[in-house]
């Protein structure tokens, strides 16, 4: 009998050999099937990578696997290949990388099949009047069943106030029956559209023409200004794919997956669409995953992890708002769903569209190099016009809770004319911190190098970096004075100020604190879409992708906040955020205006951004990156380490660098920077340091990273501290 070589979800970067389980036949050993194995004292679910004839593990020491869990591999071959590629590219343990490509229930060893849910429905010919007049409860229950001809679960019956104990009685009278429900496995051939597509303008037509001309692998970068109708291009590209019997996978940013997004797809297509959102149970996710794999779901919309959704007939992949950071996982397996999407499209041999009004400098560079095909939409769709910008110099003006009197006047005008105003600032809470007026003491977090944010609703201090909270002190920790004052403004404070300034107009705050409750975002969106004059105050949650037809004024309170960031991507982020927020103004019949409060009204980059647009900004930014040899002109990886004591992490990283640099086999051209303490050295009680590796040659860097992870796994000190490797990091913290 041969041996099984398995990928097992552990932090170790290697495969593990096992004996086949007892009584298993050779046909069962297909690479890709899940295998339950003993691992230490636990049982884990691994995936069969290979069947081998030889092993370095002595036979006597080799354990038999417990069971083969699948008759056929759950992941289609292309996805299996993608998972392996990701593990290697990101130097992440293969077992974990493959496990993460599976739905949670499959990781746990559940069968790869639909839920067997028991549902109830009325029996054929059942009528209310077959029950005697006194059986009121039974009548109500039967009525409920009649109203749900496709079946209803016991839980749902209870939720509707029905008595499940009476179901058996109805069943005995042949009025009700139970059955096992399989979620939507029907295959229908029907007209795929609910509504007619819009007539495209010439630019949209040209973009669509190029996309649908392709049925092989081809990456497109769709650069379309906000409101230019990118979504309409996606919808029509998807329509073509669907008419060919294929499926579409659409990835959206984390907070972009709102009911409004799915509603647009559902309004257009008369087809099974699944949205993989965070409110789903593991069970619902597996069902959706199966529907995608079997080709029943035609359109799959999801956030980052949806890139691993299997498709029976893949037709196209779309990454909307491709510049968004949420496509990069920032912990554990640090993959970029956008980059994996391009890789996946090449394995599946299908087109992939990266769309944005403010593409990442990486993607623009790829387009300039000819690796991605350019598509441009330079006009707003329909009758909408681009918004007009005004830089409001606030250097000498007195601010009222962060609002200049000029801005207050403009907000009033727009409300009076009956439209909506959006006020953006990038900080939630009441104020960024609390200060002692007498001695200058600041309310700092005890576990981080950071100030704590003052919140009023409810009143407390909150660290946004480690999540620790404490009551607001009555007196200064340092001098005992009770003159504690909030410094600066967050969304709560702005909301309060606007309510006072404009009584009679609702103020809707949109930030992480107001949208946590289930359906909260939906309710807020419904209120905004009713269209009555109101003020929206919020963080970048308001910036992303939303279509607010009634917003005519966008106010950016602190346009300068990202200008002087330590991260080389600070300028790029600022530009993207400004244009995305600005893009919410004037998207329909009413012209839009954007007022930016700034202390740097003559800043050349800000001026060029608002007068010449994103592309010109991006050209300059790329030139600067070139001059400084920063990504995307070079490739970058970041080794982070953290320890309980200051300098321990740095010491380890220094040793890593010295040992590896001495190695004569070390690849040429890799540049080491650091170690440095991280920009926020102390976070959640841990002291953090980092080492940067850069190399224009991707292959050389990759070889170096392999040597690096080998070294880290072998080094005894590295077992005492936490370390992680981030390939193509999107933030340097």
Sites of contact with Zn ion (CB under 5 A) = 436, 438-439, 441, 445, 447-448, 463, 465-466, 476, 478-479, 481
Q: Is 321 in the site for ligand ADP (CB under 6 A)?
A: no
Q: Is 231 in the site for ligand ADP (CB under 6 A)?
A: yes
Give the span between the Cα atoms of 47 and 36, in whole angstroms: 9
Q: For residue 223, list its beta bridge partners.
A: 356, 376
Query: Shortest gap between Cβ of 477 and Zn ion (angstroms)?
Result: 8
Q: Is 232 in the site for ligand ADP (CB under 6 A)?
A: yes
Token readout for 536 is 């929206």
Q: Which residues contact 156 (CB under 8 A, 6 or more apart)?
A: 148
x/- letters, 575..614, toward ligand ADP (CB under 6 A): ------------x---------------------------
CB 326 within 8 A of CB 291: no
CB 20 within 8 A of CB 39: no
- Count Cα atoms within 13 angstroms, Cβ side, for 345: 26
Query: Shortest gap between Cβ of 459 and ligand ADP (angstroms)?
Result: 39
Residue 230: contacted member of Zn ion, ligand ADP, none (CB under 5 to 8 Å, by partner type): ligand ADP
Question: Minimal CA–CA distance to 410: which of 527, 490, 498, 524?
Answer: 498
Give the span between the Cα atoms of 527 and 48, in whole angstroms: 51
- CB of 451 or CB of 587, closer to ligand ADP: 587
Question: 46, 74, 95, 227: which one contacts ligand ADP (CB under 6 A)?
Answer: 227
Query: Shortest gap between Cβ of 334 and Zn ion (angstroms)?
Result: 22
Query: Shortest gap between Cβ of 268 and ligand ADP (angstroms)?
Result: 10
Residue 232: contacted member of Zn ion, ligand ADP, none (CB under 5 to 8 Å, by partner type): ligand ADP
Q: Is 381 in the site for ligand ADP (CB under 6 A)?
A: yes
Stretch that binds ligand ADP, among 22-30, 220-228, 269-277, 706-714 (CB under 6 A): 220-228
- CB of 467 or CB of 589, closer to ligand ADP: 589
Question: 86, 229, 432, 592: which one contacts ligand ADP (CB under 6 A)?
Answer: 229
Give the span between the Cα atoms of 594 and 363, in whole angstroms: 27
x/- letters, 533..552, toward ligand ADP (CB under 6 A): --------------x-----
Residue 541: contacted member of Zn ion, ligand ADP, none (CB under 5 to 8 Å, by partner type): none
Query: Shortest gap between Cβ of 481 and Zn ion (angstroms)?
Result: 5
Question: 30, 55, 178, 201: which one contacts ligand ADP (CB under 6 A)?
Answer: 201
Alpha helix ranges (H) inside 562-697: 570-582, 604-612, 614-628, 648-662
* CA dist 701 → 238, 591, 708 (Å): 38, 50, 10
Residue 300: contacted member of ligand ADP, Zn ion, none (CB under 5 to 8 Å, by partner type): none
Question: Minimal CA–CA distance to 230: which of 334, 348, 115, 359?
Answer: 359
Could you count the other beta carbons within 10 Å of the beta carbon of residue 183? Answer: 14
Q: Is 200 in the site for ligand ADP (CB under 6 A)?
A: yes
Residue 431: contacted member of ligand ADP, Zn ion, none (CB under 5 to 8 Å, by partner type): none
Q: In what helix (H) or strand (E) does residue 106 lie, and over which residues does it extend?
A: helix 104-107
- CB of 448 or CB of 534, closer to Zn ion: 448
Stretch that binds ligand ADP, among 11-19, 24-32, 227-235, 716-724 (CB under 6 A): 227-235
Cα torsion angle, 296, 301, 302, 305, sign: positive
- CB of 219 or CB of 224, closer to ligand ADP: 224
- CB of 587 or CB of 625, closer to ligand ADP: 587
CB 424 within 8 A of CB 556: yes
Give the span between the Cα atoms of 169 and 19, in whole angstroms: 53
Q: Which residues contact 676 (CB under 8 A, 6 or more apart)?
A: 650, 689, 690, 691
Give the span between the Cα atoms of 654 and 632, in whole angstroms: 26
Could you count the other beta carbons within 10 Å of the beta carbon of residue 498? Answer: 23
| Site residues (vs ligand ADP, CB under 6 A) | 198-201, 204, 224, 226-232, 381-382, 547, 587
């Amino acid at each position: 009998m041969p041996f099984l070589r398995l990928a097992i979800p552990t932090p170790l970067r290697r495969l593990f050999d096992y004996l086949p389980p007892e009584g298993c036949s050779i046909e069962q050993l297909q690479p890709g099937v899940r295998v339950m194995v003993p691992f230490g004292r636990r049982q884990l679910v691994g995936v069969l990578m290979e069947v081998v004839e030889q092993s370095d593990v002595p036979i006597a020491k080799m354990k038999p696997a417990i069971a083969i869990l699948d008759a056929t591999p759950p992941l289609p071959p292309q996805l299996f290949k993608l998972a392996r590629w990701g593990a290697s590219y990101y130097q992440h343990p293969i077992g974990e990388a493959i496990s993460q490509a599976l739905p949670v229930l499959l990781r746990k060893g559940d069968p790869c099949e639909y839920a067997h849910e028991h549902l109830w429905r009325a029996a054929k010919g059942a009528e209310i009047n077959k029950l005697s007049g006194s059986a009121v409860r039974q009548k109500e229950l039967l009525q409920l069943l009649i109203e749900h001809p496709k079946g209803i679960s016991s839980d749902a019956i209870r939720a509707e106030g029905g008595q499940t104990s009476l179901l058996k009685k109805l069943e005995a009278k042949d009025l009700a029956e139970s059955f096992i429900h399989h979620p939507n496995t029907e295959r229908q051939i029907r007209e795929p559209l609910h509504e007619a597509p819009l007539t495209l303008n010439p630019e949209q037509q040209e973009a669509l023409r190029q996309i649908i001309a392709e049925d092989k692998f081809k990456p497109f970068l769709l650069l379309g200004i906000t409101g230019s109708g990118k979504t309409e291009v996606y919808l029509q590209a998807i329509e073509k794919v669907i008419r060919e019997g294929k499926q579409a996978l659409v990835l959206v940013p984390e907070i972009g997956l709102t009911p409004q997004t799915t509603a647009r797809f559902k309004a257009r297509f008369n087809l099974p669409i699944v949205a993989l959102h965070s409110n789903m149970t593991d069970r619902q996710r597996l069902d959706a995953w199966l529907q995608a794999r079997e080709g029943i779901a035609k359109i799959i919309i999801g956030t980052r992890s949806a890139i691993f959704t299997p498709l029976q007939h893949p037709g196209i992949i779309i990454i909307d708002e491709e510049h968004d950071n949420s496509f990069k996982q920032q912990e554990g397996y640090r993959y970029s769903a956008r980059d994996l999407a391009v890789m996946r499209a090449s394995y599946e041999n299908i087109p992939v569209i990266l769309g944005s009004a403010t593409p990442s400098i990486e993607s623009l560079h790829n387009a300039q190099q000819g690796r991605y095909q350019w598509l441009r939409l330079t006009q707003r769709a329909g009758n909408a016009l681009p918004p007009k910008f005004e830089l409001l110099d606030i250097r000498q003006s007195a601010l009222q809770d962060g609002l200049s009197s000029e801005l207050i006047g403009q907000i009033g005008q727009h409300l009076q004319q009956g439209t909506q105003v959006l006020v953006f600032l990038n900080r939630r809470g009441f104020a960024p911190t609390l200060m002692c007026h007498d001695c200058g003491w600041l309310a700092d977090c005890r576990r981080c190098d950071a100030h704590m944010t003052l919140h009023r609703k409810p009143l407390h201090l909150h660290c946004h970096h480690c999540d620790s909270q404490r009551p607001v002190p009555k007196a200064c920790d340092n001098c005992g004075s009770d003159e504690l004052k909030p410094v600066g403004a967050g969304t709560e404070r702005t909301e309060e100020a606007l309510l006072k300034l404009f009584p009679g107009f609702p103020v809707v705050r949109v930030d992480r604190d107001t949208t946590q409750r289930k359906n909260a975002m939906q309710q807020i969106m419904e209120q905004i879409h009713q269209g009555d004059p109101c003020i929206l105050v919020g963080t970048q949650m308001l910036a992303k992708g939303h279509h607010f037809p009634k917003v005519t004024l966008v106010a950016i309170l602190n346009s300068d906040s990202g200008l002087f960031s330590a991260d080389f991507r600070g300028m790029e982020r600022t530009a993207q955020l400004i244009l995305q927020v600005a893009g919410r103004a004037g998207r329909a019949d009413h012209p839009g205006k954007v007022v930016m409060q700034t202390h740097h009204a003559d800043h050349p980059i800000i001026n060029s951004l608002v007068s010449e647009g994103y592309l010109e900004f991006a050209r300059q930014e790329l030139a600067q990156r070139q001059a400084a040899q920063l990504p995307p002109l070079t490739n970058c990886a970041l080794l982070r380490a953290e320890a309980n004591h200051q300098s321990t992490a740095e010491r380890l990283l220094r040793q890593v660098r010295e040992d590896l640099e001495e190695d004569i086999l070390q690849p040429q051209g890799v540049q080491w920077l650091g170690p440095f303490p991280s920009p926020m050295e102390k976070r959640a009680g841990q002291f953090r340091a980092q080492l940067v590796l850069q190399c224009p040659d991707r292959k050389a860097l990759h070889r170096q990273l392999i040597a690096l992870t080998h070294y880290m796994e072998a080094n005894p000190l590295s077992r005492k501290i936490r370390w992680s490797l981030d390939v193509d990091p999107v933030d340097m913290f």
